[in-house]
Structure 1
Amino acid sequence: MDNQSAIFKDLTETFQAMNLPVSHMLHEGEGLSMSNLKNLFTTLPFSSIVFRPNYFTMLFVKNAHADYTTDDITFRMEPGTVFFTNPGHFRSFVWYDIQDVYLIAFNESFLKRNIHGDVFKEFPFLVSETVNPRNLSPEDFLVFEHTCLEMFKEFNGNSMYKKQILGNLLMIILLKIKEAFWKDYNPIYEGNKSSQIVKNFKMLLENHFRDLVEGRTDLQLRVTDYAAHQNLNENYLNTVIKTKTGKAVKTWIMEKMICEAQSLLLHTTLSIKEISFRLGFIESAHFGNYFKKYTATTPLAFRQANQ
């Protein structure tokens, strides 16, 4: 996939970039959008550009056929298919025929405002990466369709509690997805075995500290830099890493910083001032305070005690 593929924050940006009409789309304005794709394509088959959405999507294919590619894996969309995708992955699709396909898109902010702040703990599959579409019987699909239609109805209504109602209906769908597909999902297992986001983060962490130690850079990377490297929202990257590894991004960075500092103190003759600059600290006093905060000892005391 092309690393320069377009990144879109919502469905409106995505559809507009592909010259698709957005007038029919229901857009709540604060992170939730819906569409019945039968109103979207005037010419079929339709092949999309390759893009990276910065939002979650749920597809409920009542009557249609398509090929949907996530990263380098292509899935077949058929009647009765339910497909859930997360931010940050390369996407493309080809729709061949469409009668009814319900598309719901939402971002992390909408989830936390209108469901609850700890939504990723209740629904850990929101950070999953190895997602395959599921094909349901007509009876089981009808359960999801009913809730989708309720959401469309509320979108078109004028209730003073519209956002809360939409949030609760979305939570019902998430609960049904969890019950049907993700009862035994273990994000730690995926983080250890098959998470590309975790693998990319750890690789960048290792490569960056190697560059620091070997003097090829003197700039420390922040959480936002690690997120930007994978075209992810900073909060979402931190959620994925913490959920799948048990440690936040800042903790990974801190532990790596202390490990490298201890190694330089033990195995080189560099002065403490030189080590602090090598690791990207502007002042050696800042390095000393940082080291003591996490080890309860000073760099000098650590070196003397372990010589």
Structure 2
Amino acid sequence: MKTVIEPLLIFDRIQELYKHLGIAVDIDIAQKFNIYNMGNLYNPKTYESSVYRGNFFSFVFVKDARGKFISDNEQYDIAPRTIFFNTPGHIKKFRIKDARDLYLLTFTECFLKENVHSQIFEEFPFLLAESILSQVVPEEKFEEFEELYMQIEKAFFSESPYRNKLIAHLFVALLIKIKDNFLTDNIIPSYESCRASEIVNKFKIIIEQHYRDLGNGSNEKAHRVTEYAEILNLHPNYLNNVIKSKTGKSVGNWIAEKTISEAKALLKNSNIPVKEISYRLGFSEIQHFSTYFKKHTQYTPVLYRQIG
């Protein structure tokens, strides 16, 4: 019998996944942070996804639901009081039934850097982890998480002018609780030890540190693919193949996204002149930077700063 291979779907936004599942959710597509309780839709229906790659960070808090979740080659049970976290790029598939209470939080790197702080990955390095973080927690611990994500939901649906800042502050508290409860001597996520995953982990750390250095002015030259490969003692083609196969994005795509993410953070959270930001991010001419930024955001740097 011939094996049927499912096509790999790519979802850049959580809204695309909801649409794939046939879930009508009224969420602004421009949102860089979303929270939703699938229990609001509760009925006997089972939700089953195709194989997909999600290009966003996600936390899942399962209070009352059951099913199976596959991330890359690992399978996990969806059961009451389970907390999941994973990063963009994983190949996933899930089947959820009896979803009476299951909260899904998704967010982008831009949200973190614009509303939390630019050093977010240094404070919470597990956000760069290549493997999934999953744990069933005791009832009293889960209630502590529940209190926090319910506050986040309240802030998310509020009309406060400080809405994003409220979400960000509560989200930091959530990250601290994750760090405190998951990353102890007794509960450590099982990071993959294979060579490809080690390369991805190192690459993520190196590129994050490099853009942090560019942003604060301690480094004046933006790396290209060849320079990342040299740091990792790899051939550029091999590095690109590994990164693309494991994350779904080439090294060039990572560089482009990091450049835009850092530019947005600097434009929104600093008074550094656009010309200086352009120089720090490796553009010899401000016009080149402006054209590049507009291509990826539909805004010029000046206009983005004004509306931010």
CA-based RMSD: 3.6
Tell me which residue corresponds to 2:143: 142
The answer to whether the aligner puts 1:50 opposite 2:51 as a matched pair is yes
Contact 1:10 1:55 in 2 (8 A): yes
Cα deviation code 1:212-257 (max 9, x no counterpart):
xxxxxxxx76998875554235059989xxxxxxxxxxxxxxxxxx
Alpha-carbon distance between aligned partners in 2 of 1:46 and 1:169, rounded to the nearest angstrom: 29
Partner SS state of residue 171, structure 2: helix
1:256-267 alignment, distance < 5 Å: none
How far has the Cα of 1:197 moved from its partner?
A: 4.0
Cα deviation code 1:142-194 (max 9, x no counterpart):
1111111111111121111111111111111111101101246999x958x34
Matched residue type, 1:142: E
Matched residue type, 1:55: F
Tell me which residue corresponds to 2:25: 22
Matched residue type, 1:19: G
Contact 1:130 1:194 in 2 (8 A): no
Stretches of structure 1 that go unaligned for 5 or more consecutive residues are: 203-207, 210-219, 240-307
How far has the Cα of 1:7 moved from its partner?
A: 1.3
Alpha-carbon distance between aligned partners in 1 of 2:134 and 2:248, rounded to the nearest angstrom: 24
1:214-233 alignment, distance < 5 Å: 228=244, 230-232=247-249
CA 1:225–1:59: 2 relative to 1, 3 Å: same
Tell me which residue corresponds to 1:8: 11
Stretches of structure 2 that go unaligned for 5 or more consecutive residues are: 203-224, 227-235, 260-308
Contact 2:20 2:49 in 1 (8 A): no
Partner SS state of residue 20, structure 1: coil
Tell me which residue corresponds to 1:113: 114
Tell me which residue corresponds to 2:254: 234
Contact 1:70 1:92 in 2 (8 A): yes
Tell me which residue corresponds to 2:291: none
Contact 1:58 1:105 in 2 (8 A): yes
Alpha-carbon distance between aligned partners in 1 of 2:194 and 2:238, rounded to the nearest angstrom: 25
CA 1:119–1:16: 2 relative to 1, 3 Å: same
Larger Rg: 1
How far has the Cα of 1:3 moved from its partner?
A: 8.8
1:1-307 alignment, distance < 5 Å: 4-23=7-26, 25=27, 27=28, 29-40=30-41, 42-183=43-184, 193-194=193-194, 196-199=196-199, 228=244, 230-232=247-249, 234-235=254-255
State, as a whole percentage, how many aligned pairs show the same letter.
Answer: 28
If the length of structure 1 is used for normalisation, what is the TM-score?
0.62
CA 1:68–1:225: 2 relative to 1, 3 Å: closer
Alpha-carbon distance between aligned partners in 2 of 1:40 and 1:195, rounded to the nearest angstrom: 42
Alpha-carbon distance between aligned partners in 2 of 1:117 and 1:190, rounded to the nearest angstrom: 25
CA 1:154–1:77: 2 relative to 1, 3 Å: same
Alpha-carbon distance between aligned partners in 2 of 1:195 and 1:151, rounded to the nearest angstrom: 38
If the length of structure 2 is used for normalisation, what is the TM-score?
0.62
Alpha-carbon distance between aligned partners in 2 of 1:31 and 1:105, rounded to the nearest angstrom: 8
Cα deviation code 1:250-297 (max 9, x no counterpart):
xxxxxxxxxxxxxxxxxxxxxxxxxxxxxxxxxxxxxxxxxxxxxxxx
Alpha-carbon distance between aligned partners in 2 of 1:224 and 1:31, rounded to the nearest angstrom: 27
